[in-house]
Amino acid sequence: LGGLPDENAAAFSALLDGAPGAYRDAVLLNAAAALVIAGKANDLKEGVEIAAESIASGAARAKVEGLAHVTSGS
């Protein structure tokens, strides 16, 4: 986002909570493109649907928290 670290962390947390907005839209589109490239989605529309469901279900937050745990050495 280009803000202060605490602001960016809050925005990312809000995104993972499902907050709507341009930030979420950009993340969904980027995730959709990655899913298409990885062969997990047939097109961007399907990729956006998969990414949005990952956020809505809490799976995205769980993955981020797991990654944070592994990389923090805890």
Measure the CA–CA gap between 28 and 56, rounded to whole angstroms: 12
Measure the CA–CA gap between 66 and 4, rounded to whole angstroms: 24
- Using the Cα atoms of residue 2, residue 23, residue 67 and residue 37 in order, give the sign of their dihedral: negative
How many structural domains comprise the chain? 1
The distance of Cα 46 from the centroid of its chain, to the nearest Å, equals 15
Domain span at residue 45 reads 5-72
pLDDT classification of 56: cutoffs 50, 70, 90: very high
Q: Please, what is the average pLDDT of the chain?
A: 95
Question: What does the pLDDT look like over 20-31, one tens digit per residue?
Answer: 999 999 999 999
pLDDT classification of 2: cutoffs 50, 70, 90: confident
